[in-house]
Copies of this chain bind each other. A is one copy, B any other.
Amino acid sequence: MSRILEWEEALSLLNKIAHPLPPKKVPLAEAAGLVLAEEITSPVSFPPFPRSRVDGYALGPSLSQEYRLVGEVPAGGGYPKPLGPGEAVRIFTGAPVPRGTIGILPQEWAQEEGKRLHLPFKVDPIVLASLIQKVGEEIEQGEKILVPGMPLTPPEIGLLAALGFREVTVRPQPQVALVAVGSELRDIGEWEESTIPSSNLFALEASLRLDGVQVYSFPPVPDDLKNLVSLIRSKLDLVDLVITCGGTGEGKYDFTARAFIEVGAEFLFTRVNFRPGGRIIVARVGSRFLVGLPGMPSAALVAFHLLVRPLIKALAGKELRPCFWKGILVEQVGKERRQRVFLYARARNVQGIWELTPVNLGQGALKAGIGANALVDLPPGTSPIPRETEVNFIPLNYGPLLPCPLEDKSNI
């Protein structure tokens, strides 16, 4: 369509064009991992009542060395009337402090004998008073506590829960439809003469699921323009992003680009300058996005990691910038590279240095990423890159499967 973009240019374009989806109110439990889309001010003070920081004794007015024990306040309980002079009550961490309390005596410092309480030594009234946590000490009513754009991790979720929020407005994850295109494809296990399983769908669905994205997978469709167009059209009404896989070449039966045109798509790019996977089409139809991934497994997955995961992040209001780490090649790689190449590798940290070993080089598209946890970024060039060269790489952080950047030295 136009000149071939560099990867960074393609990302930059996505960053400009892929705006966060409209805010959505979701139950708090579903908000984790999403980005906040509203300013949160606290509707209440926290704690909502003065409470004891420790297990001990709430002491009534005018500090003395001896008190009458008149009751007990467990957490969740209460004491019905104000403490009078010389009165004390047993109290526990988190329990509401009775009116009239001037301080809390920690239980380690107290001597209890029947209904009498002795202070065995002089204690500082300021220390005792400091053991009462005041109303609003942690958070004041009306205080601004969270701002739009913050990712909601467990502490933010806990804070919102503590302030009584049952729902919160977030940038939702895009909903995704996955369609494999190719007359040679069948559902797994449905072996037929001249067909192969539609395996990319499973790999892509796995990646989306690990990122917490809701995905709808559809049975593979044959190379047939009309069929493909009507399928894409029907899915565009239901989801934010339709991803097809296969048919992005320029052959007689490569219908992806033509189908995108038929549904009225505006193309962002149809090719990006890297291998494998540079033959990726990204387009939009109104506010919806269309991605055409190449059908070769390694190409589909690399393009997905380098461009589609960032697109999804952008739609969810997150930072889409790539993560580059630095490492050292442990073996010579590459012959002539007419384009930038992303090479599957195993990154292993040895005494603070990332050692990168290419995996399954020259083993075919299906095996390309097996056992890999990194993509090494190789510039174009006419000669091999010698071992020991420092290179950039991108960790393949699939959900909790993150390569650890520094070896632990504790021999666990």
Residue ranges of A at the interface with B (Cβ–Cβ < 8 Å): 8, 11-12, 15, 28-29, 31-33, 46-49, 55, 74-78, 92-96, 107, 137-139, 145-146, 150-166, 182-185, 188-189, 191, 193-207, 209-212, 222-223, 249, 251-253, 295, 297-298, 301, 304, 313, 318-326, 344, 363-373, 396-402, 404-406, 408-412
Question: Can you identify 27 A-B contacts, CB atoms within 8 angstroms?
Answer: A11-B410, A15-B412, A32-B206, A32-B210, A33-B399, A75-B223, A76-B182, A92-B251, A96-B193, A138-B363, A138-B365, A139-B366, A145-B370, A153-B396, A154-B203, A154-B398, A155-B301, A155-B344, A155-B369, A157-B206, A158-B199, A158-B200, A161-B198, A211-B400, A318-B400, A321-B408, A325-B405
Given contacts A75-B183, A188-B161, contact A146 B212 (CB under 8 A): no
A158 to B245, CA, bound (A): 13
Given contacts A251-B93, A364-B137, contact A74 B202 (CB under 8 A): no
CB-contact partner of A139 in B31, B326, B367, under 8 A: B367
A211 to B400, CA, bound (A): 6
Closest 6 interchain pairs by CB?
A155-B369, A158-B203, A76-B183, A32-B206, A138-B364, A161-B199
Check A46–B202 contact: CB distance below 8 A: no
Give the Cβ gap from A58 to chain B, nearest Cβ, in Å.
13
Give the Cβ gap from A139 to chain B, nearest Cβ, in Å.
7
CB-contact partner of A185 in B74, B76, B408, under 8 A: B76
Give the Cβ gap from A7 to chain B, nearest Cβ, in Å.
9
Q: Is the interface of A mostly helix, strand, loop or mixed?
A: loop
Chain B residues with CB under 8 A of A46:
196, 366
A399 to B249, CA, bound (A): 34
Chain B residues with CB under 8 A of A324:
406, 408-409
A397 to B400, CA, bound (A): 8
Give the Cβ gap from A350 to chain B, nearest Cβ, in Å.
15
Check A210–B33 contact: CB distance below 8 A: yes
Check B198–A401 contact: CB distance below 8 A: no
CB-contact partner of A150 in B371, B397, B406, under 8 A: B371
Chain B residues with CB under 8 A of A408:
321-324
CB-contact partner of A206 in B154, B363, B372, under 8 A: B154
A325 to B369, CA, bound (A): 26
Given contacts A161-B199, A402-B323, contact A155 B372 (CB under 8 A): yes
A211 to B153, CA, bound (A): 12
A118 to B155, CA, bound (A): 70
Check B154–A366 contact: CB distance below 8 A: no
CB-contact partner of A202 in B78, B161, B363, under 8 A: B161
Chain B residues with CB under 8 A of A199:
158-162
Q: For A173, give the chain B residue with the smallest CB separation.
A: B400
A147 to B150, CA, bound (A): 40
CB-contact partner of A28 in B15, B49, B162, B202, under 8 A: B202
Check B32–A146 contact: CB distance below 8 A: no
A127 to B77, CA, bound (A): 85
